[in-house]
């Protein structure tokens, strides 16, 4: 039986990914090694499933479709910039969600709860913090990291536009030398 690395996410409007691409260019800093997310691959992850069997995919699609149908479509505004664990010591660079957080949490919880109840998937251990990852910092010089922190502070109110959330998508993730690529396995419309 084949195993498929998979996750559930919300796709982002092209206007947001274009603005994210422009922001990435502003944030590139000499002396800091960052794996930048390809804007064409950007998404808001709702739940990482890990390696699932290909035989489980149809049932996952059914469960997620039913859960997504319980939530009304909504809009999110992508605004704000920061880093985890902090902007001063960023390992993950992200765009924030200024509007639509509660709706995203409702959608994530509906999917998380349904997958736990019907298929036994473990629920997320830590709280869901909606964000759009734009890069992962691998390391850098002290000067480079300080410059990156200054750029994050300079763009902390960055406006990346609005996106409509009207479906959840189940993706397969394939790891390669040039980074991960994603393939949509199913589109699950909201109510």
Q: Which residues pair with 171 in a beta bridge?
A: 7, 184
Asked whether the beta carbons of 54 and 4 are under 8 A apart, the reply is yes
User: For position 176, what pLDDT does the model report?
Assistant: 82
The answer to whether 187 is a known catalytic residue is: no
Confidence of residue 178 (pLDDT cuts 50, 70, 90): confident
What percent of the chain has pLDDT above 70?
Answer: 100
133-177 residue pLDDT tens: 999 999 999 999 999 999 999 999 999 999 999 999 999 999 888
Catalytic residue among 43, 95, 108, 114: 43
**Angle (CA) 95 97 99, round 5°:** 155
User: Helix H segments across the chain?
Assistant: 14-27, 57-68, 101-119, 142-154
Catalytic residue among 131, 145, 149, 182: 131
Tally helices (H) and strands (E) across the chain.
Answer: 4, 9
Q: What is the pTM of this model?
A: 0.92
Domains of the chain: 3-189 (3.90.1140.10)
Distance CA 32, CA 105 (A): 33
User: For position 98, what pLDDT does the model report?
Assistant: 95
User: For position 130, what pLDDT does the model report?
Assistant: 94
98-132 residue pLDDT tens: 999 999 999 999 999 999 999 999 998 888 999 99
């Amino acid at each position: 039986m084949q195993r498929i690395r998979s996750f559930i996410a919300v796709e982002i409007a092209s206007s947001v990914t274009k603005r994210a691409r422009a922001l990435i260019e502003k944030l590139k800093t000499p002396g800091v090694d960052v794996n930048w997310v390809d804007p064409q691959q950007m998404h808001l992850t709702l739940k990482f499933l890990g390696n699932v069997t290909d035989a489980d995919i149809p049932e996952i699609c059914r469960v997620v479709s039913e859960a997504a149908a319980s939530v009304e479509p909504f809009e999110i505004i992508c605004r704000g910039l920061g880093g985890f664990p902090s902007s001063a010591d960023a390992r993950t660079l992200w765009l924030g969600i200024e509007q639509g957080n509660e709706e995203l949490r409702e959608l994530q919880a509906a999917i998380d709860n349904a997958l736990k109840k019907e298929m036994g998937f473990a629920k997320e251990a830590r709280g869901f913090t909606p964000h759009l990852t734009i890069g992962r910092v691998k390391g850098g010089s002290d000067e480079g990291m300080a410059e990156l922190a200054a750029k994050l502070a300079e763009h902390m109110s960055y406006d990346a536009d609005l996106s409509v959330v009207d479906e959840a998508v189940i993706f397969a993730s394939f790891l390669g030398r040039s980074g991960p690529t994603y393939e949509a396995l199913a589109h699950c419309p909201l109510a």
